[in-house]
Amino acid sequence: MKEAARQARAESRIIGFVPTMGALHEGHTALVQRSKLECSPVIASIFVNPKQFGPNEDFAKYPRKLESDSEKFSAAGVDTLFLPDAAEIYPTGFRTYVTVEGLSDRLEGRSRPGHFRGVATVVMKLLEIVEPHYAYFGRKDAQQVRIISQMVRDLNLETEIVVCPIIREPDGLALSSRNAYLSADERRAATVLHRALEAARAKLSAGVRDALQLQSTMRKVIAAEPLARVDYAEIVDADAFEPITRIARPCYAVLAVFLGKTRLIDNLYVEPVGDSEELAYHL
């Protein structure tokens, strides 16, 4: 992989990179499509990274669909598919980890201790191997993208991180490889994340700027769904991912909700338009 990437660089080509854990859906292929507009070659990776799963999480049962994933990536126009195995990425004696302090402890990091250390470490390694000019990530994992951007800045990496919109099912459910775990009833109930975010957006449109009020709106929507159990529902600053009290700067409404044993996340990104009171919403 390193040789191929170096060769592409030597030919002054622009390398685009889409790192994934496989179990591909249209969110992933949208990243490839975006990358193809800006780069050639487009390199994608599939690696189910053991270091970002907690001991009681779904590493063993995480969907592995190499054959159909390869077909999907190839149909989307991926030029090179990088499929390292765990022993290559973490050889015996591996000891070096990347920790992005502070940002990694809250929200997802609080619910999934060690998760972002695993993500930052593997993404650092993948960026080091592929040396892409651009790397593409979905905004559904907003905290992950924030952490990776911080790491790239702090460690002087020469990759630009490109954040792409969330892709949703027609009923609003954000695409996620973990949606495959949902039973039919849970799948129906899973629209509750989108409904809660829509409710927050409606309040914002009506002029509400108090974060606690927005939070309680989201919680009420989730509480009304019998199959759902909230993990967190917060309004956080888009830079520090710390809770805020008023909506006056770019922020996220972020949610993590259990449907049975499946934990799904989603978010609404809100930013003021210029100096006005108006807000732009990215759902």
- Tell me which residues are annotated as active site: 28
Looking up tokens 């927005």 gives 214
Binding mask 32-51 for ligand PAF (x = CB under 6 A): -----------------x--
Which residue, chain included where needed, has tokens 């015996």?
Answer: 92
125, 135 Cβ separation under 8 angstroms: no
Closest distance to ligand PAF from the beta carbon of 215 (Å): 26
Report the distance separating Cα 232 and Cα 110, nearest Å.
Answer: 10
* Binding region for ligand PAF (CB under 6 A) out of 15-23, 36-44, 106-114, 255-263: 15-23
CA atoms of 2 and 39, how far apart (whole Å) = 17
Residues 172-191, mask of contacts with ligand PAF (x by CB under 6 A): --------------------
Angle CA(102)–CA(110)–CA(188) in degrees, nearest 5? Answer: 130
Nearest CB to ligand PAF, comparing residues 21 and 264 = 21
Using the rule CB under 6 A, which residue among 131, 141, 225, 266 binds ligand PAF? 141
29 or 52: CB nearest ligand PAF? 52
Question: 44 or 200, CB closer to ligand PAF?
Answer: 44
| CB count in 10 Å sphere of residue 68 | 11
Q: For residue 80, give Cα distances in angstroms to 16, 132, 160.
A: 10, 12, 19
Q: Which residues bind ligand PAF (CB under 6 A)?
A: 19-21, 49, 52, 119, 122-123, 141, 144
